[in-house]
Amino acid sequence: MKIAIIQMDIAFGDPEANRRYVKQQVEQAVAEETIDLFVLPELWTTGYDLARFDQIAEQSGEITIGFIAKLAKQYQVNFVAGSIANAKETGYYNTLIVIDRQGELIKQYDKVHLFRLMEEEKFLQQGSIDGLFTIDDQQAAAVICYDIRFPEWVRTHMLNGAKVLFVVAEWPKPRIDHWRTLLISRAIENQCYVVACNRIGEDPNNMFGGHSMVIGPWGEIIAEADDQAMTLLANITWEEVDRVRKEIPVYQDRRTELYQSLDGFKKNRQI
């Protein structure tokens, strides 16, 4: 699968400008390469303009879903289309969308872990569903930014058959070393590909670090961007995940009876 990650600056609170930019980048990429799947960053239509979500959030994501679906169908490409400001009856959500080559919406994932340092909990509702989906007949998963600090959440998806983890983010520049280390760790411990798209640039309150990455199931960095706008390209092969998981059978050697609490340790502890 040939993947194109669109690492971009985001026009703060300006969905139309951001959609125009993405359209240009998609058109340029497909003119030069055969692409199977595009990845976009977190909240790429608005940025973290949370205080104006009541004005700029989309009702059920209809505008951007329609926009991406048209591109997907026109160029016969899949999209892990980042996340958007999404207005529902129950409040505002940070919602990731996945659209297939036929322009069909196949997954919506609301960010489960809200990031207090950027005041998400003051404006957004928490999600409560998984990020699992099937793309080109392969099982995959997607999460949003802060979610990668919760390895148990990522492992839950891998135990349900995912071979690749897509991560869409607006990860701040001061903690970009955490970003890189966490992504590599998630790949190694789950023996999966990690395909991560981060934004660049700044908004009124934050600077963002880029360094979008594709990491293999051994933890090797296949491709990595710097902190400039670019489209990062990489190939992944599903068979490589199977090979690595057979070589070191981590999933077979798990001791699940000990993982839920300390009770298992207490029962077997020698005094």
Task: State the catalytic residues.
Answer: 42, 111, 145
Residue with the two structure tokens 């048209």: 70
Say how far apart CA 118 and CA 264 lie, in whole Å.
Answer: 38
Residue with the two structure tokens 């190939």: 235
What stretches of 110-227 show up as alpha helix (H) in DSSP? 120-123, 151-158, 176-190
Say if CB 60 and CB 71 are below 8 A apart: no
**Residue 152: alpha-carbon gap to chain centroid:** 16
Q: What is the 3-state secondary structure (H, E, C) of 27-84?
A: HHHHHHCCCCEEECCCCCCCCCCHHHHHHHCEECCHHHHHHHHHHHHHHCCEEEEEEE
Helix and strand counts by DSSP (H, E) for the chain: 8, 15
